[in-house]
Amino acid sequence: MQSEQQRALRNTIPDAIARAVRRSPGKTAIRFGDRAWTYRQLDEAAARVAGALAQWGLRPGDRVAAFGKNSDAYVLLWLACLRSGLIHVPVNFSMTRAEAEYIVTQSGASAIFADPALADRVDGLPCKVSGTLHGGHALETSRDILVAAASGPAAPVSDTLADATPAQILYTSGTTSAPKGAVLTHRALLAEYASTIAACDIRASDYSLAALPLYHSAQMHVFLMPLLLCGGTTLIADSPEAGYCLRTIHAEGITSFFAPPTVWIALLRHADFDPARLGALTKAYYGASIMPVPVLLELQQKLPALRFYNCSTPTARWPKQRCSRCRTRSGSRRWPPAWCASAAMKTPPRKR
């Protein structure tokens, strides 16, 4: 049991979220489809989900796998895990059953929550608790995150929570070998969020479109979470389809958007691309691969008021994060990540 002094000195992600809730209780935090959650509503709903997770037998330190596309329910499960001292394990929703089973088994997940449309890929995996993220039934026997968010007893932030408590096991893509899990603590993620806020000019006035997968470190940890801690608003979409993104940026007055170069190219070449309809957009973030210089120059020419940021967030170097703001037609200015030290190391020759 933590003392009042220990709780006051503690700095975990739920503590940071609580500060955002106190600053902006009635402001919209996230939107998805026809649902909108203010900061207070989001915090209260996450507390109810945390209470449900405890009722379903999960305890601090248990690993909870999430297998679903972007939604408000996906975010609610993540926030509830943070409050409960549970370790969140995001699973790429495009994985096959065998690939998903590897992640769930290797991480030691005690629970898994999936979109109903993806359930056949994870049914029967060795987890003591299984349920749905959304789309389940409002029955006592159902274990649905969105249903739990609407009713039930709220759980306080766990007394076992500390800065060094693991928050997530984030897996590499497995491109060259089997995926490897990086254990991210509350302290590590908060340091990364602070670096991102500073380097990417994230502000409470930002209205962001989150269309890239939340299972990935970039959309969740470089954009959604830092903006949530700042008091901004995020519109969550389940796909980065170019036509939808262009319509939404115009209709909603979106001010910031992250996407890999392939999506920016799709926007630029889409029949609905019209610079006059994108006037609210002030911050353009890209990463995951190199932006072709001719494409960047064309975007800068057509959208001269838009600021471009080149972001790099490799899981293996977490929580280090780099962000460059493009300054000229041929170069950029690079800021080192705050609170992180890095050095170029010469690899010693291998002994034969």
Question: pLDDT by residue (tens digit) across 146-195?
Answer: 999 998 899 999 999 999 999 999 998 877 788 899 999 999 999 999 99
Share of the chain above pLDDT 90, in %: 78
Q: What is the pLDDT of residues 91-131, one digit of tens each?
A: 999 999 999 999 999 999 999 999 999 999 999 998 999 99
Say how far apart CA 69 and CA 92 lie, in whole Å. Answer: 9
Amino acid at 243: G
Position 350 scores a pLDDT of 54
Amino acid at 4: E
Say how far apart CA 39 and CA 325 lie, in whole Å. Answer: 30
Share of the chain above pLDDT 70, in %: 84
Position 174 scores a pLDDT of 73
Which segments of the chain belong to CATH 3.40.50.980?
Answer: 37-185, 187-335
Q: What is the pLDDT of residues 309-347, one digit of tens each?
A: 998 654 444 444 445 554 433 333 444 455 455 544 455
Angle between the 261-269 and 242-252 helix axes, to the nearest 10 degrees? Answer: 80
Q: Answer yes or no: is pLDDT of 252 > 80.
A: yes
Q: Does domain 187-335 match CATH 3.40.50.12280? A: no
Give the contacts of 317 (CB within 8 A, at least 6 positions apart). none
Nearest to 96 by CA among 114, 122, 126, 116: 122
Report the chain's mean pLDDT, rounded to a whole number: 88
Tokens of 61: 């330190």
Question: What CATH class is the domain 37-185?
Answer: alpha beta
SS3 for 36?
strand
Position 42 scores a pLDDT of 98
Position 9 scores a pLDDT of 73
Amino acid at 144: D
User: From edge to edge, which strands make up the β-sheet containing 63-67?
Assistant: 129-132, 109-114, 63-67, 87-90, 166-171, 181-185
Q: Answer yes or no: is pLDDT of 21 > 70.
A: yes
The model carries a pTM of 0.88
Amino acid at 75: V
Tell me the β-bridge partners of 31. 36, 235
Position 224 scores a pLDDT of 98
The dihedral sign for the CA sequence 110, 115, 116, 118: negative
Q: How confident is the model at residue 277 (pLDDT cuts 50, 70, 90)?
A: very high
Position 141 scores a pLDDT of 54
Give the contacts of 174 (CB within 8 A, at least 6 positions apart). 99, 180
User: From edge to edge, which strands make up the β-sheet containing 233-236?
Assistant: 35-38, 28-32, 233-236, 207-210, 256-258, 283-286, 307-312, 322-326, 332-335
